[in-house]
Amino acid sequence: MKTQSRLEKVLASGALAVTSEVGPPRGAIPEKVKEKASLIKDHVDAINVTDNQTAMVRMSSWAAGVIIKQMGLDPILQMVTRDRNRLAMQSDIIGAYSMGINTMMCLSGDHVKFGDHPMANGVFDLDSIQLVQAVRKMRDEGKFQGGADIKSPPKMFIGAAANPFADPFELRVMRLAKKIKAGADFIQTQCIFNLDKFEKYMEMVCDRGLDEQVHLLAGITPMKSAGMARYMKNKVPGMDVPDDVIKRMEGVSKEEQPEEGIKIAIESIERLKKVKGVHGFHIMAIEWEEKVPQIVEKAGLFPRPVV
């Protein structure tokens, strides 16, 4: 075991892991973090805490993570390289680890252009792969980026993201290999709606033997409406929503669409459970956290293992 991370233990036990996420509030409202985390606490192994998601200022991910930790739960600290240089990132990692956070996700982050501070300067001192390298170097070599030794280095279980659907498709597996080489222990993927394409991707992943080197959690997002499905298809960069999914959502009445969206999510999990290399699920129920327990239960992923 590389770390104290509960997620690492669950994955090591061979069970399918389940993670979900909490987006911190845009204000000093710690209750909001607690409220969101409480909704999912019994149904997941760890909770991603997003970092200035969509490039909008929010409560810092490590502070919200600490709140969640204090509830006795297991936060996954998300960190985007957009907002901090390597000094700030390393110090936040030490800080978060000192507060009991032992799992993190390394991301580059959406461009500032998409948020409410388009006039800000994006930092990108490191990219996501270099951040993975940096966190591993801290943990395994006990060294800072500058080369100095760390007294009592932070031991983080290291996650990274993968988007099996972004262009060019042929690069996707190579890029995953790069993240693994950099030191990623687990991967959470972009929301999967195009299951055929994802299965093809996983075949390629397994052909290279990458499934043996990393734990891949498949991203699942329940859709609330046909409108949301269309929006994701047309407006979100790098998202692949096939037409038959949209048709299926449109095929039922407006009132039944949320239920249909959840059904699709559950069916997807059932199908993906059988895919070689899938070691768990990352459920991103955007502003719909209350539905996570239902999805986890109906997909046969409840109760969560005790490790």
Partner 1 sequence: MITAEQKPLKEIIEYISPYDRILLVGCNECVTVCAAGGRKEVGLLASALNLHSLKQGRTIDIKEITLERQCDPEYVEELVSEIDRADAILSMACGCGVQTIAERYKEKPVFPAVNTKFMGASQSQGIWVERCQGCGDCLLGITGGICPVARCSKHLLNGPCGGTSDGKCEIAPDVDCAWCLIWERLKALGMEKRYEEIMEAKDFRPAGGGGPRKIIREDLSL
228-266 residues labelled b (16+ CB within 10 A) or e (exposed): bbeebbeeeeebbbeeebbebbeeeeeeebbebbbbbbb
Instruction: Tell me which of 38, 60, 145, 225 binds partner 1, using CB under 8 A.
Output: 145
Q: How far is the CB of 171 from partner 1 (least distance, A)?
A: 6
Q: CA 54, CA 162: separation in Å to the nearest integer?
A: 17
Kindly state the tokens that stand for 238. Answer: 């790098």
Among 68, 126, 210, 272, binds partner 1 (CB under 8 A): 126
Nearest to 19 by CA among 70, 73, 93: 73
Between the alpha carbon of residue 251 and those of residues 184, 196, 220, 248, 295, the distances in Å are 41, 21, 21, 5, 21
Q: Shortest gap between Cβ of 250 and partner 1 (angstroms)?
A: 23
Closest CA to 187 of 92, 278, 289, 296: 278
Q: Which amino acid is at 160?
A: A
Note whether 178 binds partner 1 by CB under 8 A. yes
In angstroms, the CA 6 to CA 3 distance is 9
**Residue ranges in 211-250 that form contacts with partner 1 under rule CB under 8 A:** 237-238
If one asks whether residue 166 binds partner 1 (CB under 8 A), the answer comes out as: yes
Residue 127 sits in the site that holds partner 1 (CB under 8 A): yes
**Contact residue for partner 1 among 182, 266, 269, 285 (CB under 8 A):** 182
The answer to the question of residue 168 lying near partner 1 (CB under 8 A) is yes
Residue 86 found at the interface with partner 1 (CB under 8 A): yes
Least Å distance, CB 240 to partner 1, is 10
210 part of the interface to partner 1, by CB under 8 A: no
Positions in the binding site for partner 1 (CB under 8 A):
82, 86, 108, 110-111, 113-114, 122, 124-130, 133-134, 145, 161-163, 166-168, 171, 174-175, 177-178, 181-182, 190, 237-238
